[in-house]
């Protein structure tokens, strides 16, 4: 028996900004077993969202420096899509 993973079709998130390359409208999103996945078609960045709706980058392993917070060069409106993980 194979576990069945329910996947939703990938679709672009209007207005979403890639956290890696800051391109807009390049993020696609889909769900696998109700776990939201995101992928940037511009730079290849991908992540998933945990139960808190926080980004969990796929490519861990190289050093992840969460402590280093760089100020953004310019003010930018970042839209967050609604978090579907909260109880339905």
Angle at 58 between CA 36 and CA 75, to 5 degrees: 80
Q: Which is nearer to Zn ion, 13 or 20 (CB)?
A: 20
Best CA proximity match to 17, nearest among 63, 75, 78, 86? 78
- Least Å distance, CB 37 to Zn ion, is 14
Smaller CB distance to Zn ion: residue 31 or 40? 40
Report in angstroms how near the CB of residue 43 gets to Zn ion at its nearest: 3
How far is Cα 66 from Cα 81, in angstroms, rounded to an integer? 22
Nearer to Zn ion, 34 or 44 (CB): 44
Q: Can you read off the two tokens belonging to residue 85?
A: 């993980």
The span from the CA of 14 to the CA of 63, in Å, is: 31
Binding region for Zn ion (CB under 5 A) = 18, 20-21, 40, 42-43, 45
Choice between 34 and 54, CB closer to Zn ion? 54
For residue 28, the minimal CB distance to Zn ion (Å) is 11
């Amino acid at each position: 028996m194979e576990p069945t993973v329910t996947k939703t079709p990938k679709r672009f998130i209007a207005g979403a900004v890639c956290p890696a390359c800051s391109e807009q409208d390049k993020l696609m999103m889909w769900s696998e077993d109700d776990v939201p996945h995101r992928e940037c078609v511009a730079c290849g960045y991908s992540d998933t969202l945990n139960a808190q709706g926080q980004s969990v980058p796929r490519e861990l392993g190289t050093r992840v420096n969460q402590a280093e917070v760089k100020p953004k060069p310019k003010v930018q409106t970042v839209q967050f899509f609604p978090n579907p993980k909260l109880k339905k």
